[in-house]
Structure 1
Amino acid sequence: MKTFYLTDSGKVRNHNEDSVTILKNANEEHLLIVADGMGGHRAGEVASSIVLNHMGKKFAETNSVGDKLSAINWMKNNISEINKEILDYTKEHPESTGMGTTCVMALLTDDYLLFGNIGDSSGFVFKNGKLTKVTHDHTLVNLLVAAGDLTEEEAKYHPKRNVLMKALGSSEKAEMDVFDVDRNVDGILLCSDGLTTMLTKEQIEKVLNDEELEIEEQVIKLIRKSNARGGSDNISVAYLTLESGEE
């Protein structure tokens, strides 16, 4: 198993509001997290760092997240606690009103693979050279596509394509979507929308399929290519690969 993560401010933003990490607990379980913060006065940085600080502490305290149902509850409960932390921070710091963050995570144990998502950061699995998106973006355009009011192609260029319907810190109640995925995969990739708005799934696939590159070089190349195409947002990538036959 190999892991690598990296974040970059991009070519347009003068500071980085993303946070990204890959954690391992005492039971060799892995937790990948990407959070894309938003809000003025650098509040987005605070919101996304609250996610990482909270999850880092909780995961370190947990020898094992337990069986699948226990893990799902653990993920959802922590998201509720993080949401409250962000709202409490906003009350104490009125200048940060409106701050929030997306959160996508992947939890890999010996027995299962779970993804959790709120917002528009993305979670993918990589298998047999193909990248498959697991998570669903909580965006206005996705709702319109689901309702049949927009095509997927129209959604890509819609002026309100970045409007979020869900994020941590946006309301009193935060519900994370959880996806139970076959753990027999070659890789797990999480990223902020700074990557997916700049590169197509096929372009990301091409980099991941380059066997001459080490995992670190693949992640760096993804960020470099995103910046070469404009780098209009902060870019964060967390990538984990499983060796052939590795359980």
Structure 2
Amino acid sequence: MKAVFMTDRGRIRQHNEDNGGIFLNRDGDRLAIVADGMGGHRAGDVASELTMSHLQKLWEQSEKIETADDAESWLRAHITQVNSLVYQHSQDHTECEGMGTTVVAAIVTNRFTTIANIGDSRGYILNETGFQQLTEDHSLVNELVRTGQISKEDAENHPRKNVLLRALGTEGAVEMDIKTIIFEDGDHVLLCSDGLSNKVSEEQMESILKKEETLEQKASELIELANENGGEDNITLVILEFLDNSERG
């Protein structure tokens, strides 16, 4: 297994309100996180930092994940716990009122990957069948596309593209999507904030991930392309590459 995390402020924003990272538990399994904070005066970075740091702490204390059910249960329980914590923080600190964050988080073992998401930060997979999005955006525009009210092309430039239907920490309870995939030799999983997915097409993502380069070079190239295409938002990503069942990396 190889993995890289990278984040960039972009070309316009004064602050980076994204957070994330790749963390190991006691048995060497990985938890990868991308969180894109929003709301309040610089409160977005508070929401994403709280989410990332608490999930990191909980993960580093956790025992081995044996099954996909274990992974799904871990993500559901601990993201729910962190949602309550972020929401309570916003209630206790007036300057953080209304803050929240997206989150896409993946538990990665040698046999499978389990991904949870809230909001519009995304997970993709590149495998022998091609490149595809694993997550569903919890956004107004995606709901309009899903129900046939607008086309995918219309969605690209919709004026309410940034309106989320779900975020972590904005309410006392939150729903998340969780799915498990089998990770095979040579597969890549990409997690990213919308600072990347809004600026780099799926065809461009696939092309870069297929290159004979290091993960660090691929990550840098993706961020560079997002900045070349405007860089209006913070850009954060994780790339995971599965090598084989014996290599832990």
- CA–CA separation in structure 2 for the residues paired with 1:161 and 1:100: 17
Structure 1: segments with no counterpart, 5+ residues? none
The residue aligned with 2:195 is 194
Please say if residues 8 and 223 of structure 1, whose CA atoms lie closer than 8 Å, have aligned partners that are also in contact.
yes
1:42 deviates by 1.1
The residue aligned with 1:57 is 57
Q: In structure 2, do the counterparts of structure 1 residues 129 and 67 end up closer, same or farther at CA, with 3 Å as the change threshold?
A: closer
The residue aligned with 1:176 is 176
- CA–CA separation in structure 1 for the residues paired with 2:245 and 2:59: 27
Runs of 4+ in structure 1 deviating by more than 3 angstroms, as ranges, are 244-247
The residue aligned with 1:151 is 151
- CA–CA separation in structure 2 for the residues paired with 1:214 and 1:246: 20
- CA–CA separation in structure 2 for the residues paired with 1:106 and 1:71: 9
Please say if residues 16 and 234 of structure 2, whose CA atoms lie closer than 8 Å, have aligned partners that are also in contact.
yes
Structure 2: segments with no counterpart, 5+ residues? none
- CA–CA separation in structure 1 for the residues paired with 2:64 and 2:174: 24
Please say if residues 110 and 245 of structure 2, whose CA atoms lie closer than 8 Å, have aligned partners that are also in contact.
no
Per-residue deviation, residues 208-231 of structure 1 (Å, max 9, x unmatched): 1110x2110110111011101110
Deviates more, 1:182-191 or 1:6-15: 182-191
Per-residue deviation, residues 25-53 of structure 1 (Å, max 9, x unmatched): 22221111000000122110010011111
Please say if residues 129 and 205 of structure 1, whose CA atoms lie closer than 8 Å, have aligned partners that are also in contact.
no
RMSD: 1.5
Identity level (%): 39
Does residue 113 of structure 2 align to residue 107 of structure 1?
A: no
- Name the count of aligned residue pairs: 246
Does residue 239 of structure 2 align to residue 239 of structure 1?
A: yes
Please say if residues 125 and 132 of structure 1, whose CA atoms lie closer than 8 Å, have aligned partners that are also in contact.
yes
Per-residue deviation, residues 167-200 of structure 1 (Å, max 9, x unmatched): 0112221111001212226111100000010100
Report SS of the residue matched to 2:205. helix
1:246 deviates by 5.7
Letter in 1 for 2:227: N
- CA–CA separation in structure 1 for the residues paired with 2:60 and 2:30: 11
